[in-house]
Amino acid sequence: MTHTETTPGSAPEQLRELESGEVDDVFDLLGHPQRRYLLDALGTDAPVPIADLVDAIVEGERGARGPAPDAGRADEVKLKLFHSHLPKLEEADVVDCEYGAGTVAVDDPEKLVLMNRLRAVVAEHTT
C-alpha cells in the first residue's frame, strides 16, 4: 500500500475529523454490497423510487456475478431493503424514506458525498 498525501477537505482528511465511532459507522454502512449499489443509485437532487433502487441493486449484483437473476430476486432484494438496509441508512441520517410514496431521498448530501469519496479512496488502495 502506498502513502497518499492528504489535502484539506479530502476524504482521508474528513475521515480524520470524525470520531472513531463515526468512522466505524461509515465503514459499516459501506460494508454491504447491496448498500453500496443503493448509494450509487441515489442522486442528491430528487427522491428515487424504491423500485428503481431494487433494480439498481439487482443489476449491480448481476454485473458482479454474471448470469441473469431469477424471477424472485427482486422480491428478496426489496425485502432486505425494507427490513435492513433502508432502516440502517435512515438511522444514520443518510437517507429519508417516504414509504407511503415509495421513494428514498438523500437526507444529508455531504454525508453521501463523503461516503462515496471514501469508497473511491479504499478502492484505489485495494486494487
How far apart, in whole angstroms, are the C-alpha atoms of residue 78 and residue 46?
Answer: 20
Residue 87 has pLDDT above 80, yes or no: yes
Supply angle C-alpha 109, 116, 30, rounded to 5.
105
Give CA separation, 52 vs 8, 74, 81, 117, 125, in Å.
35, 11, 12, 23, 31
67 contact partners, CB below 8 Å, separation of at least 6: none
Contact at 8 Å (CB) between 54 and 38?
no
Average pLDDT value for residue range 75-86: 95
The torsion angles phi and psi of 68, rounded to 5 degrees, stand at -65, 140
pTM: 0.74
pLDDT reading at 79 higher than 70: yes
pLDDT at 5: 52
At 1, is the pLDDT very low, low, confident or very high (cuts 50, 70, 90)? very low
Residue ranges and CATH numbers for the domains of the chain are: 11-126 (1.10.10)
